[in-house]
A = this chain, B = another copy of it.
Amino acid sequence: MDEERSALTRLARQLHLQEYWVAQPDFQSTAPRSAAVPHLWRWADVAPVLRKTGEIIGVGAHVAEAERRALILSNPGLGGRPDITTTLYADLQLVRPGEVAPAHRHTTTANRFIMEGEGGFTVVAGEKVTMSRGDFVNNPAWLWHDFGNEGGEDAIWLDVLDVPLVTTLNGVFYDYDFWKEGDLDKTAQSVRQPPDHSHALYGIGGVAPRFVGPADRLYSRQLVYRWASVRAALDRLRGWPGSPYDALILEYTNPETGGSVAPTMGFAIQLLRPGEQTRAHRHTASTVYCVVEGQGYTQVDRQRLEWSGNDVFVVPGWAWHHHVNLRRSADAVLFSASDAPALEKLGLYREEARTETGDIVSVTG
């Protein structure tokens, strides 16, 4: 019997077949067990390394040593993969005064949350977008973009992309011919739009221009969401109860549809009032957080991630989590990126929450 089975196994393997009862495929897990683990990158640890790269790594068209000077946040559970979850990629990028990164484009979607510096800018499809602390910058898939820093201090931001998801789906195209066309002095796009073009056009609130073409239902045409107006909106909603799990949470939206900024990823900003503690929930979506203000912790399953300004942390899918603002007299504000839009489109978003009495209830029904 055993011999017969061994023979079967050998023959099967030769034919690129695997016995179901031996392989025990993934889909028999009773609930998602993400390979990604909860983790926090402390700014106090990361910042010196990042600043060091600024000193020793050259970047830009003329130097060409590195296309980007970035440190990739590699989830400790993913065996050395350069990914922060099974679907998301994140890095911390530093651009020094005077640097210019060459133009390129890709089918992955890139979004940036600005952590430091006033002089950074990006040119996306001919629109120059200045970037300051707290701004959220949106780079829809396949639009040409380049970066630079016209200020006097380093510009630092968090990049979040959907690289692992798009890779799994065999959808990654990358185009840097703009740069390769021989004339290295012309690696950057010419600016063809007035400053703050898309913000003036789309970020109005309540009204929308009728003199632009049909809506882009996949990607937001608003390329920057300014910190001042987002922070003011959080303040105005201070009196609302908010979400039991996420306090006062606002989603950055595609103004033409009211939906998420990209088809694969959604982005949000949330405010925890002084001393506020949320109730625990879990969902199949994975989330990457960046701490904008304040001090507190996020409890993820049995792990407590203590955070303060500029820390980045990750909550894998289906992990219980809740947030606590530890300060009695100051707000805490968290920026976050999530793969929820992809999950929802494919019928895979599920959410459970704990009630006040500790029971688990389904939120998605």
Tell me the A residues contacting B by CB distance below 8 Å: 1, 4-5, 8, 11-12, 15-21, 23, 25-32, 34, 39, 41, 45-46, 49, 52-53, 56-57, 65-76, 82, 85-87, 89, 91, 93, 106-108, 141, 161, 163-176, 194, 199-211, 215, 218-219, 222, 225-226, 229-230, 233, 236-237, 239-243, 246, 248-258, 263-264, 268-269, 284, 286, 316-318, 339, 342-343, 345-350
Contact = CB atoms under 8 A, between A and B. Distances in A.
Contacts of A34: 170
Contacts of A318: 170
A169 B20 contact: no
A86 B26 contact: no
Given A203-B205, A342-B169, A27 B72 contact: no
Residue among A32, A200, A218, A222 with most chain B CB within 10 A = A32
Given A8-B49, A21-B57, A211-B241, 18 more contacts: A16-B75, A17-B72, A19-B53, A19-B72, A25-B89, A31-B173, A32-B170, A32-B171, A86-B168, A165-B169, A166-B348, A204-B205, A205-B229, A206-B225, A206-B252, A207-B252, A209-B251, A345-B346
Contact of A347 (B46, B141, B350): B141
Contacts of A73: 16-17
Contacts of A41: 15-17
22 contacts: A1-B56, A17-B49, A17-B74, A19-B72, A20-B71, A23-B72, A27-B166, A27-B167, A29-B172, A169-B317, A171-B348, A206-B226, A207-B269, A208-B250, A209-B240, A209-B249, A209-B251, A210-B246, A210-B250, A210-B268, A257-B257, A345-B346
Contact of A173 (B5, B16, B18, B350): B350
Contacts of A284: 169-171
A66 to B, nearest CB: 3
Contacts of A205: 203-206, 229, 255
Contacts of A173: 29-32, 350
Of A205, A219, A350, most B-chain CB atoms within 10 Å: A205
Contacts of A219: 347
Contacts of A348: 107, 166, 169, 171
Contact of A74 (B18, B141, B209): B18
Nearest to A171: B348
A201 B240 contact: yes
Contacts of A257: 257-258
A248 B211 contact: yes
Nearest to A316: B170
Nearest to A77: B16
A250 B169 contact: no
